[in-house]
Structures are given as C-alpha cells and as structure tokens.
Amino acid sequence: MARRPLIAANWKMHKTQQEAKTFVASFLPKIAAVRDRDVLICPPAPLIFAVDQARKDSPILLGAQNMYFEEKGAFTGEVSPGMLKDLHCEFVILGHSERRWVFGETDELINKKVQAAIKAGLIPILCVGEKLEEREKNLTEQVILNQMDLGVKGVADTVIGTMVIAYEPVWAIGTGRNASAKDAHDAIALIREFIHSRYGSSSAEKIRILYGGSVKPENMATYMKEEGIDGGLVGGASLDPESFAKLVTY
C-alpha cells in the first residue's frame, strides 16, 4: 500500500494573526502544483481561525498543537476537542516532547488526549522519542516502545491506522542536530513493527509515521528516501513560507 506523504508545520509559539495570514498568502502559490502529498499547518490556538480563513479553497490541512481531554468544564486556559472541531481542525499534535518535558505531561494524560481526539473526530499525531541521556544509555527502543504502548492504549483496531505517529528524538529538536537517516529509519521501523504486532499488518501498512527533529529543506529528501518514513513534522523550518515550500516540494 502506498501511503500518502504528510508534511506538517508545527509553528509552536510564533506569529501574530497578520503574520499567519501573510504566510499562507505567500505559501499557497509556491505549492500550487503539489498534488501527491498532504500539507498540514498547526498554528498556535489563537491563530487557528486566521489560518482557516486564509487557507479557504486550498488543499492545506489544519491542525492544533495540543488540547485537553475533557469536552468542557473548569479547566482554565485549556482548549477542548469540540472547540478544535468547531474551528475546522482536522488534526491535533499530542505528546510533543515540549509538552512532555517542559509541561510535565505523562503518557497516561497523553493517552486520554489521544482517545478524546479520536472520539471527537480529530486525527491525533502522537509524538514519541527519546532524550539524549536515554539514547546514550541504549534505551532508545525501550523508551519508544513504552511511549507507544501507553500512548495508544485502548485505541481500537478499526481506528489505529488513521492515526499519525511522529518520531521526534528530543535531542534533535531545535538543536540543529538531526538524527541520521538510518537513526530515523530504524526508529520508525520499530514503531511500525509495534503496530504490526499489536494491530496486524493492515494497520501497520496504513498508519503514517513521520520524522521530526531539525528537519530542513536540505535534508528532507534524504529522510523521504528511507523506506517507511511517510513525511515530516517540521518546527523552525516551517516558519518561513519559502523554506516550508521547499520542504514540501522536496
């Protein structure tokens, strides 16, 4: 089965409404000829509406960077799955390393978010990956498998193939250090084998697995040549329309 590549922009905490609109206006003509891959933008929550308006009648997909697992209630500062659906989001990034290590999110909390996203009709992009000290102690496989095991707990066989997984080694995010193509290939093969063993070959063939971690226009093609890598979760290089267009058209 040929999986459709997905190139996702994670803008993190950047841009104003006007900057977001200007980005999309500049970006769209640069990818007008792209037909064989999905392009996703995940802006900060206050900019979701502006990006949705700016992307009208274009193939750009829209996602959020995070959400809470409850639909409503006394959760000051949080955003619910229903709110994201109401804003026309199709995807949501969950378990990003910054949510795990800066904000202290646990695998159990991330799993609740994954299940809530699926229930709301959002496609979760579940992020997994090891820290530098874990890699140096040869714990990469153990960490990834544990995060996968807890992250997809309770997700049904009928749904898992529609999810997206992003392998993002923590030591390569925003550091300028990127994992080698072999590092990325091996980790993503491990994730796909986990899905195969837990959910069967059909789900393993269907699920898209991305690489994230200092992805740039200069190295995107190298990753995409590797078997099993279905796209990229892009941080800093997605903030400039020229740079992100080059990445999308690798």
Catalytic residue among 98, 105, 130, 168: 168
Tokens (6 digits) for 111: 């799993």
Write out 144-183 in H/E/C secondary structure: HHHHHHHHCCCCCHHHHCCCEEEECCHHHCCCCCCCCHHH
Note if 96 is an active site residue: yes
Catalytic residue among 96, 98, 105, 185: 96
CA–CA separation, 164 and 166 (whole Å): 7
CA–CA separation, 198 and 212 (whole Å): 24
CA–CA separation, 24 and 41 (whole Å): 9
CA–CA separation, 178 and 146 (whole Å): 23
Asked whether the beta carbons of 96 and 168 are under 8 A apart, the reply is yes
Note if 196 is an active site residue: no
DSSP 95-116: S-HHHHHTS---HHHHHHHHHH
The contacts of residue 116 (CB under 8 Å, 6+ apart) are 67, 68, 69, 70, 71, 81
Q: Enumerate the active-site residues.
A: 96, 168
